[in-house]
A and B are shown apart, each in its own frame.
Chain A
Amino acid sequence: MIMTLREAKIRASLRTVEGERVRWLLGKKGALVTTGNVFGEVVSGPRYDVIVQKAAAVELERNLLLQEMEDGPRTVHELHDQTRIPKPEIVKHIIALKKWRLVEQVGMKGQSPQYKALPGKKEVT
C-alpha cells in the first residue's frame, strides 16, 4: 500500500512539473520579481519562493486526486483512504477541479457523490 502510494505520488509529481502552472511560475521569476505582473505588482524573492512551493504542493495533491479519479468514479471518502489527503482539502480540490472542468459528478454511492476525471486537454483530439 505504502509502495503504491509512493508510486502514485511520483507519477503525480511528474505531472506537476510538466504542468502549466508550475512551469509558468518557474519561468516568470525574473519578470515577477523585477518588473512585476500585468498590474505592476512586484513580488519579493522570498514571497515568490513561498508562492511556487505552495502552488506545487496544491498541484501535486490535485494530480494525485485526478490520477485516482481517472481509474473510475470515486467518493471523497475513497479518495481520502487512497491518498491520505484530509477530506476538507479534497473537497476544496474537487471544487477547483470542477471549475476547470477536469472532473464531473457521475452518480451517488450511498449519500456520497462520486466524481470522475474528464479527459484532459492533451487527450482531446
Chain B
Amino acid sequence: MSSEAAHHGDAQQGVAEKDFEPRILVFCCNWCSYAGADLAGVSRLQMPPYFRTIRVMCSARVDPEFVLRAFQKGADGILVAGCHPADCHYIGGNYRTRRRIALLKMLIQQFGFDKDRLRLEWVSAGEGEKFQKTIVEFTNTIKELGPSPIHGGD
C-alpha cells in the first residue's frame, strides 16, 4: 500500500471512528449511583450523549440475562453502577453483583465480545464527578473497541 493510500485508509478509519456512535446501557442503583448520576446532571458536568440509563432498585437486580439480552440486541457496552462495598441499601446486593459480573465477563468472551465491553463501577450518591469520569472513560473504551460484534465489529 502506498503512503497516500495508507493515509487515505487512516483518514477513512478516523471518519468511521468519528461517526461511530456507541450504544451504551447504564444500570444505576436507585440509592447511590442514580443519585450520583443526578448530581452529575445538576452540576452540569459534560458527558458524551451515547448512554441510556436504567434505574434499578439495587445493582443486584441486574439479572445476568439483562446483560446478555442487551448484547444480543446490539448494545456496544454495558456499565453497571452500584453502591460501594458495604454501603448497599440491601446489605449485600453489590457483592452478588460483583460475582455475577465476573462470571458474565467470562461468558461474553466465549461469544466473541471483549470483556471491557462490560464494566462494574461503584458510585456513591456524592460522587457526581466520578460518574462523569466513568462515563467518559467507558465511552472512550467502547469507541476504541468499535461496534459490537453483532454489528460486524471486533
Contact = CB atoms under 8 A, between A and B. Distances in A.
Interface in A16-37: 16-18, 22, 26-27, 29-30
List of 7 A-B pairs having minimum Cβ-Cβ separation, nearest first: A9-B111, A17-B64, A13-B107, A10-B72, A6-B111, A14-B68, A26-B99
A53 B101 CA distance: 12
Given A17-B64, A26-B100, A10 B71 contact: yes
B110 A9 contact: yes
Interface in B69-119: 69, 71-72, 92, 95-96, 99-100, 102-104, 106-108, 110-112
B146 interface: no
Contacts of A26: 96, 99-100, 103
Contacts of A79: none
Interface of B: 63-65, 68-69, 71-72, 92, 95-96, 99-100, 102-104, 106-108, 110-112, 149-150
Contacts of A18: 65
B112 to A, nearest CB: 6
A76 interface: no
B107 A29 contact: no
A52 interface: yes
B99 A17 contact: no
Interface string A56-72: 11001000000000000
Q: Which of B63, B95, B110 has the most chain A CB within a 10 Å cutoff?
A: B110
A49 B101 CA distance: 12
Give the secondary structure class of B's interface: helix
Contacts of B111: 6, 9-10, 13
B106 A10 contact: no
Chain A residues touching B, range? 20 to 34
A56 B111 CA distance: 13
A49 B100 CA distance: 11
30 contacts: A6-B111, A6-B112, A6-B149, A6-B150, A7-B72, A9-B110, A10-B68, A10-B71, A10-B72, A10-B111, A13-B68, A13-B110, A14-B65, A14-B68, A16-B107, A17-B64, A17-B65, A17-B104, A17-B107, A18-B65, A26-B100, A27-B96, A29-B99, A49-B102, A52-B102, A52-B103, A53-B103, A56-B103, A57-B110, A60-B107
Given A6-B149, A10-B111, A17 B106 contact: no
Nearest to B71: A10
A56 B108 CA distance: 12
B107 A56 contact: yes
Contacts of A60: 107, 110
